[in-house]
Amino acid sequence: MLVDNDAPLAPLTTLRLGGPARRLVTAVTDAEVVETVRAADAAGEPLLVIGGGSNLVIGDAGFDGTVLRIATEGFVLDGTLLELAAGEVWTDAVARAVDEGLAGIEFLAGIPGSAGATPVQNVGAYGQEVAETITEVVAYDRLLRETVTLTGEDCAFSYRHSRFKADPDRYVVLRVRFRLADEDGMSSPVKYAEVARTLGVEAGQRVELRTAYETVLKLRAGKGMVLDPEDHDTWSAGSFFTNPVLTDDQYAAFLRRLDGLAAPAYPAGEGRTKTSAAWLIDNAGFRKGHGTGRPATLSTKHTLALTNRGGATTEDLLALAREVRDGVRAAFGVELVNEPVMVGVTL
C-alpha cells in the first residue's frame, strides 16, 4: 500500500484538473482497499474512491480527506464467465475478451477507466452497456461493514445510472463478474445506426468480433473519445452531459420550442423520450471548438466533450459548462445534467 500526503490529483484525472488530496492511498489488493475504507470510516475521515479518473471533475481546492486509488489486478476467465478486479484497466480487459473470442463488451472498446467503475454509471456506448453482461458485483458495503455480493438486478441499472451512483458513499466495488458469449467469433448484434452504416450491415446483424471492436475504436478516435496524451481534444471526461430524458409534458414543451427543427428522439420507457445532448448544444449555437483561445473549450471533434487545452483550472471548465447549460436552457428549455462526478464543486 502506497501512501502520499498532499498529493496532486490532477495527473490522476483525464481532464488533468483538480487540487491535491490531503492523503492519497494506492491499494493493490482487496484487503488493502477494505482496510483503507474501514480506517477512514472509523476516523470519520472523508473518502474519495478513484479508478482511472476519467469521469471526475475535482475542484481546484482538491480533496480534504483520503483519496483511495484502486489499483488491484485480476482477469479470471472461466468459460464465458469473466471476473475482473476493480483496478483492471477496462480497455485492456475488453481487448483480452475479444482476443479470447468472447462477445458482450466489444462495443465498449476504448472507454477509459477501471473495470470497477463500469457498474457505477452503467458504462455504455454504441448500443451496448455493462448492465447487459454484469451478473454480480462484489463490493465492500460501508453501511453493513462487510463485503457483499450484489446481483445484476440488485445493481438497479438504468441509463448512466445504478445503485452505486444513487448511493455514492455506500459501496466500494472490489470485483465485477460478467457473463460473455461465445458466438463462434462473431459479435453481439449491431444495434447502433452509425456502427451499422460504417460496417455496411443492417441493425441486428452480427459481424466478426474483431471487426466490431476495431470499427468502434476507429469511430471513437475520430471523435476524440480514445485517450491520447498528445491530443488535447481527449483531455476530457468524455461526454460532459447526459442525453436528456424528457417526460411527455416536457417533450411537448420542447417540440413547441423547436420551430420547425427536427431533433433526435428515442423512446426511453413508458411516457419518456430521450433526445441528444450533442444536438441541443450544437443547435443552441455552440459549435465544435467553441471557446477557442480560452484554457477550456469544447473539443474540436465533439461538441459533448469539454476539454482542458493545457492551462485550465476546474473553474475555467465549469464556466464553460455553465455557459453551455444556460445556452441550451435559453434556446430549448431543456436542462442539461452533468455526467461526470463532481468533487467539491457544482455546476
Ligand X SMILES: Cc1cc2nc3c(=O)[nH]c(=O)nc-3n(C[C@H](O)[C@H](O)[C@H](O)COP(=O)(O)OP(=O)(O)OC[C@H]3O[C@@H](n4cnc5c(N)ncnc54)[C@H](O)[C@@H]3O)c2cc1C
State the residues that interact with ligand X by CB under 6 A.
14, 49-56, 70, 86, 111-114, 116-118, 120-121, 123-125, 164, 168, 171-173, 225, 227, 234, 236-238, 341
Which residues, other chains included, contact 249 with Cβ-Cβ below 8 Å and sequence gap of 6+?
Answer: none
Q: 47: closest CA among 61, 31, 67, 27?
A: 67
Least distance between ligand X and beta carbon 267 (Å): 20
Least distance between ligand X and beta carbon 240 (Å): 10
Q: Kindly name the residue from 54, 188, 236, 239 that is annotated as catalytic.
A: 239
Residue number with CB closer to ligand X (164 or 241): 164
Calculated CA dihedral for residues 295, 301, 302, 305, nearest 10 degrees? -30
Residue number with CB closer to ligand X (114 or 215): 114
Residue number with CB closer to ligand X (59 or 332): 59
Q: Is 175 a catalytic residue?
A: no
Whether 308 and 295 have beta carbons less than 8 Å apart is answered as yes
Cα 302 to its chain centre, rounded Å, is 16
Q: Is 214 a catalytic residue?
A: no
Residue number with CB closer to ligand X (164 or 332): 164
Calculated CA dihedral for residues 191, 197, 199, 200, nearest 10 degrees? 110
Least distance between ligand X and beta carbon 69 (Å): 8
> Which stretches within the chain are classed as H helix?
30-42, 90-99, 163-166, 193-199, 209-222, 248-257, 277-283, 314-332
Least distance between ligand X and beta carbon 118 (Å): 5
CA–CA separation, 231 and 260 (whole Å): 37
Q: Kindly name the residue from 160, 163, 177, 325 that is annotated as catalytic.
A: 160
Q: Is 188 a catalytic residue?
A: no
Q: 115: closest CA among 82, 147, 93, 140?
A: 93
Least distance between ligand X and beta carbon 257 (Å): 28
Residue number with CB closer to ligand X (54 or 254): 54
Active-site residue list = 160, 239, 339
